[in-house]
Copies of this chain bind each other. A is one copy, B any other.
Amino acid sequence: MWELCEDDLRPVSVGAAVLGSGGGGNPYIGHLRVRECLRAGRAVEVILPEELDDDALVAVCGAMGSPVVSYEKLPGGDEEPAALRQLERQLGRTVDAVAPFEMGGGNSMAAMVVAASAGVPLIDGDGMGRAFPELQMTSYLIYGAASAPSALADERGNVLVLSEVVDAGWLERIARAATVAMGGHAGVATTPMRGELCKRVIIPGTLSLARAIGDAILAADRSGVEPSDAVLAVTGGRRHLRGKVVDVERRNTKGFARGSLVLEGSDTDSGRTVRIDFQNENLVLYEDGRPVATVPDLITLLTAERGDPLTTEVVSYGVRADVLILPCHRLLRTPRALEVVGPRAFGLDFDAVLLEDGARPGAGAVR
């Protein structure tokens, strides 16, 4: 168990934004919200999954909605704690720990705010080891945790409970529609489960991993190491291209930010062109018309100079960026998981193109 301090926030939010693969919400606002909690004297205790009692009750917390909205409509701050309070009311007891459903600038921080507000530990891990656009895409739900009850809350005071859902896909569908009706952003508390199950299905150590990535980028910035090299040393994977963003097409539809961006290679990569398609998160990297990397592996962009992670909402024409491909966790590489988080789950007509296992130093093993 360790206690999160204010100095952790910058590296965690930078590293979580790298893992966010273009999505995961606005890191800056998340950062401010947690800092405010800490400064108000509320602690965020972090525990490893193996520290959970088998009988502990865990809930998964975060924010739902298109990340674009979080730039235009500031969250009120109590949505996620309110969702957890309602989930606890439904369960008839308080939870013993909370976990994020995803890593990403916004959602890793949102879970911290909930933990601090509820006075329970935050688990070092999450359900994606990255960010994905839909609720059913967590290792928790893929490997058998319950989709209901789940609770949603908005900043006005509307609170919703999904008491029973047919499956995780219906959780996503109904919660998404409600979130859109609520103005595009809602706090979510979901997937109540026992500690015993959580230990088996969580992607462990991803908060520490985010901090290590962030530390590496911030240290690189000071020492003259290439930021993307520093990240790859922590995560494994490879740099696919250094280039310049020459086109961005983005629309906010049905609660998602969808679109694509095109980069032209520079330096040793000049003459090459890649395209990245995204739905909140970067889904597929194409070169010469072929997918060369896909979900569930992480496709993430860093600015070439400083290693700032670029989310799909802020990336813009002319930015010089490195395109990195980082290996997803093994829990996302099983046939069962690929059905839920592989390209076909996003309506694409090809199989996952993943880094070879040799490319991975073992995500989650870092700390």
Contacts and interface: CB of A to CB of B under 8 A. Distances in A.
Contact of A181 (B151, B156, B174): B174
A162 B164 CA distance: 13
Q: Give the interface size class of chain A.
A: 20 to 34
Interface string A173-203: 1101110111000000000000000000000
A159 B170 contact: no
B181 A177 contact: yes
A162 B170 contact: no
A159 B164 CA distance: 5
B174 A182 contact: yes
A40 interface: no
Contacts of A182: 174
A319 interface: no
Contacts of A160: 160-163, 174, 178
Nearest to A148: B159
Contact of A158 (B174, B180, B181): B174
Contacts of A176: 181
A157 interface: yes
Contacts of A161: 160-163
A28 B173 CA distance: 31
B170 A156 contact: yes
A172 to B, nearest CB: 10
Contacts of A178: 160, 174, 177-178, 181
Contact of A165 (B86, B89, B158, B163): B158
A30 to B, nearest CB: 25
A173 B166 contact: no
Interface in A135-170: 151, 156-166, 170
Contacts of A170: 156, 158
Interface string A5-25: 000000000000000000000
Contacts of A181: 173-174, 176-178
A166 B158 CA distance: 6
Contacts of A164: 86, 157-159
Nearest to A152: B174
A350 to B, nearest CB: 29
A166 B157 contact: yes
A176 B165 CA distance: 17
Nearest to A163: B159
10 contacts: A86-B164, A156-B166, A157-B164, A158-B162, A158-B166, A159-B162, A160-B160, A160-B163, A176-B181, A178-B181
Given A161-B162, A176-B181, 15 more contacts: A86-B163, A151-B163, A156-B166, A156-B170, A157-B165, A158-B166, A159-B162, A159-B164, A159-B165, A160-B161, A160-B178, A161-B163, A173-B181, A174-B182, A177-B180
